[in-house]
Structure 1
Amino acid sequence: MTSSDWAPYGAVLQRSVPDRIKQYILDQHLESGAELPSESELASQLGISRNAVREAIKILQTLDIVETRHGQGTFVGKLSLNALVDGLAFRVLFDGEEHLRTLRELLEIRQVLECGLIQRVPRTIPAEHITELYQLVEAMETQAEQNALSPQEDRAFHDVLYRSLDNKLLIQILQAFWDVFQRVRQTLPGIPPHPQITAQAHRRIVDAVAARDVHAAAAAMQEHFRGISNWVLENPQE
């Protein structure tokens, strides 16, 4: 056997333990929620120590690739984007004096995505989703009368709005950007848009979608993001 014949084996041996466990999950075609072998079984199959497996599992837990249930074992995780949210939120805060710029950049990415996607929604959204959107808007309006606005309704609104596009990864990415903004919004100086203005912006979006008006939906979404952008942009650099 030549040295080139050994190359693939060398590449496998050089992989980190977390990478080797991830490859095991792929090779075994395990789905989210599937149980992994015990630490000792994994160690035996991968040819590594139990301590190495234990440390790798801890790393993979932080990435939501696996989850450990006390007294039950280790399972393939939900593969959420929680690690991305944690990283982006920390990046925004870590940038210090530049953190408003980073936040603006994240907001711009979300705006580009949503203002493009909303143009597809009027053609795909079913009546039951429109009903659900109106219910969420009515809840927002009721809260706005008390000068309050629950982030749960806001988040749910955007989830329902794009559900008919049947793209789970898209929803996860939009949720991730939304979660990052919510985590750092308390650090922003200035005053956010009044809850009634936010509620009205959401009603205009759903009205346009319900009318199956692509141009009106795009305009309403642009206006919604204009309000958020004005809040962030009007805040002076720290």
Structure 2
Amino acid sequence: MAVTDAAIDKIKQMILSGELTPGSRLPKEADLAERLGLSRNSLREAVRALALINVLDVRQGDGTYVTSLEPRLLLDAMSFVVDFHQDDTVLQFFQVRRILEPAATAMAATSMTEPEIDELRGILSALPEDPSVEQLVANDLRFHQRIAEGSGNAVLCSLLESLSGPTTRARIWRGLTQENALEKTREQHAAICEAIASRQPEVARAWATVHIAGVEEWLRNALA
């Protein structure tokens, strides 16, 4: 089990056991990390992950609280973590994406106009140097959406857009738990963009395949 997942599991057990109740405040970071046998960094990542799915509420200058939900609703929110690791449906969405998106990327390399390519580069440059996971995923979604639009095929673009929602949570989870996820994403996005800009459809197709297959392989390992 990944370190972040283990940290999440320990906090989850505190909530499910009633040790932490809805609306209660988590102990100070240093105290909780020591108590759970975690590094402060691992605890911090776990808190970020649980805040993303609305289990925890981080209040700047005040502390971190368990969201004031009914126990049933709280368990529903927590079930995302379980579902993610037990349901391989999301993997099937990535498999379909790996089939369709390289084709759209190759088409974009021949059909995107220069202003559209400049816009694609602008999306990449808009990502901050040290982005949050939310910023990274939002930028990733916009980048791939722009390429799908640039394919010039409205049906293909619509199909790829429909795959976006079911894979967003997995992308967030990857950003939180995979080492070097930011660096890999930046490098591969830049390579895809340059292949499109230099009008090399097969190179663009290859980079898109590498990019999506890498995420799919990470997901397969996470599910295993």
- The TM-score with structure 1 as length reference comes to 0.52
List per-residue Cα deviations over 1:147-198 (Å, max 9, x = no partner): 6443222122112213233333332321221111114556779823521211
CA distance in 2, matches of 1:213, 1:220: 11
Alignment of 1:126-141 (within 5 A): 126-140=113-127
| Residue pair 1:122, 1:209 contacting (<8 A) in 2 also | yes
Deviation of 1:96 (Å)? 7.7
Select the residue among 105, 109, 124 that pairs with 1:122.
109
CA separation of 1:187 and 1:217: change in aligned 2, threshold 3 A: closer
Deviation of 1:226 (Å)? 2.4
Select the residue among 203, 206, 210 that pairs with 1:216.
203
Structure 2 residue aligned with 1:178: 164
CA distance in 2, matches of 1:165, 1:233: 28
Select the residue among 85, 93, 99 that pairs with 1:112.
99
CA distance in 2, matches of 1:166, 1:115: 14
| Residue pair 2:101, 2:148 contacting (<8 A) in 1 also | no
Structure 2 residue aligned with 1:103: 90
CA distance in 2, matches of 1:221, 1:234: 20
1:153 is aligned to 2:139: yes
1:234 is aligned to 2:211: no
Corresponding pairs, count: 143
Secondary structure of the 2:103 match is helix
Secondary structure of the 1:166 match is coil
CA distance in 1, matches of 2:143, 2:182: 15
| Residue pair 2:148, 2:157 contacting (<8 A) in 1 also | yes
Structure 2 residue aligned with 1:198: 185
| Residue pair 2:175, 2:182 contacting (<8 A) in 1 also | no
Contiguous gaps of at least 5 residues in structure 2? 1-79
CA separation of 1:183 and 1:97: change in aligned 2, threshold 3 A: closer
Greater gyration radius:
1
List per-residue Cα deviations over 1:3-60 (Å, max 9, x = no partner): xxxxxxxxxxxxxxxxxxxxxxxxxxxxxxxxxxxxxxxxxxxxxxxxxxxxxxxxxx
CA separation of 1:139 and 1:235: change in aligned 2, threshold 3 A: same
| Residue pair 1:129, 1:161 contacting (<8 A) in 2 also | no
Backbone CA RMSD of aligned residues: 2.9
Deviation of 1:207 (Å)? 0.4
Identical-pair percentage: 20
Letter aligned with residue 226 of structure 1: A
